Structure 1
């Protein structure tokens, strides 16, 4: 939990440094639009493939953050195509994590818990679908862990895929749009958007941590 808060703080400090270099006394040179366009032209089809692949790996491999990849996609390809590539990579990564958990972890769970795992709300397809969709809208929840957990449940693959797709579009568009705005010279707008997102995430994590601590104290 503390590691996630630390990463959020570092990310926000980086965004502020990029938007207000004079105030902070730092000299940061970012490539301009023409230079980015030359890189994109030189990369050709490999550019989108690399972005999709990195997003996929970032979802399956938890320590690799996906937000910088989404920002880079928006900066390079704009908010429309950037969002498309980010959503595609995130969806593939989620499906890969779901498949790994379903193929490797589900038999182990059934062997030790039997049908207990399907009791109550966890046996309802509609409830599980809603939980996956809702979790995708909350940036402080671990994207990959939700995918692995869903794979351990009896949630149908098509329901998981649709819920994930619908849930990741807003955040993917926001991050890609931030990257696009920053690259087009409107770094202040991107900064305030990042601060708002980071603030919401940080407060949510802080609330969850405080609530957990309070619950542990009551139990003891």
Structure 2
């Protein structure tokens, strides 16, 4: 019972964080809120970087909300930079931890329930297909994929280009969606919606492959 409570608390904290952010945006107005964040200097982006970083290293924490917030609070360019840096740092760390310390250490870090997802993804033979690995990284499973690929024989020289492709394709639409909704930019929103549609197709293909693997 206590273990379930500990697993639930981070999710509750993230939920209230998102609610607080939405309320702040509605109450203060996005322009005023951005002006207030400007007074924080580097600490504003650094705080969001840390939250996004932790949401990837500890997969129990949802991370998509931070991409939306990055676009809403810092605009598209600055928000995208923060999210991409956080994802690059966290995914390379996840890969390194798996490669360096092995499965038992990762299970202690992410918990038994999430480790089953890591194990399942590590058995997809992603190391033999660069584009399939890139496709998996472009989905919402990318945190588990980074751990899972680290447990295979995939080299750094193969993983890093796939990760960079993920950053270039998956992050911009979500950040643009956060920036476009609050700024009302039609071009930005159009780009965001097309990008999200493409990501949905990729996710659907990946999930279909996973279901076929499970059935066989």
SS of the residue 2:74 aligns to = helix
1:54 equivalent to 2:55? Answer: no
Query: Offset of 1:63 from its aligned partner?
Result: 1.6
SS of the residue 2:26 aligns to = coil
1:5-16 alignment runs, 5 A limit? none
Residue deviations 1:3-47, cap 9 Å, x none? xxxxxxxx9xx9xxx9xxxxxxxxx93542321222221221111
Residue deviations 1:145-194, cap 9 Å, x none? 1101110112112321221011222221111111111221359x859956
Q: Select 2:91's aligned residue among 94, 100, 111.
A: 94
SS of the residue 1:153 aligns to = coil
Q: Which residue of 2 aligns with 1:104?
A: 101
Query: Offset of 1:65 from its aligned partner?
Result: 1.3
RMSD, matched Cα = 4.1
| TM-score normalised by L of structure 2 | 0.65
Q: Which residue of 1 aligns with 2:121?
A: none
Larger RCO of the pair (alpha carbons < 8 Å, separation 6+): 1
Q: Which residue of 2 aligns with 1:85?
A: 82
| TM-score normalised by L of structure 1 | 0.64
- Native 8 Å contact 1:83 1:169 kept in 2: no
Q: Select 1:76's aligned residue among 73, 78, 99.
A: 73
Q: Which residue of 2 aligns with 1:134?
A: 135
Query: Offset of 1:99 from its aligned partner?
Result: 1.1
Cα separation, partners in 2 of 1:31 and 1:67, compared to 1, 3 Å: farther
Cα separation, partners in 2 of 1:158 and 1:51, compared to 1, 3 Å: farther
Structure 1 residue runs of 5 or longer lacking an equivalent are 1-10, 19-27, 109-120
Cα separation, partners in 2 of 1:208 and 1:34, compared to 1, 3 Å: closer
Q: How many residues align?
A: 177
- Report the Cα distance in structure 1 between the residues aligned to 2:211 and 2:82, rounded to whole angstroms: 36
- Native 8 Å contact 1:87 1:165 kept in 2: no
Q: Which protein is bigger by CA-based radius of gyration?
A: 1
- Report the Cα distance in structure 2 between the residues aligned to 1:54 and 1:79, rounded to whole angstroms: 18
- Report the Cα distance in structure 2 between the residues aligned to 1:215 and 1:97, rounded to whole angstroms: 25
SS of the residue 1:43 aligns to = coil
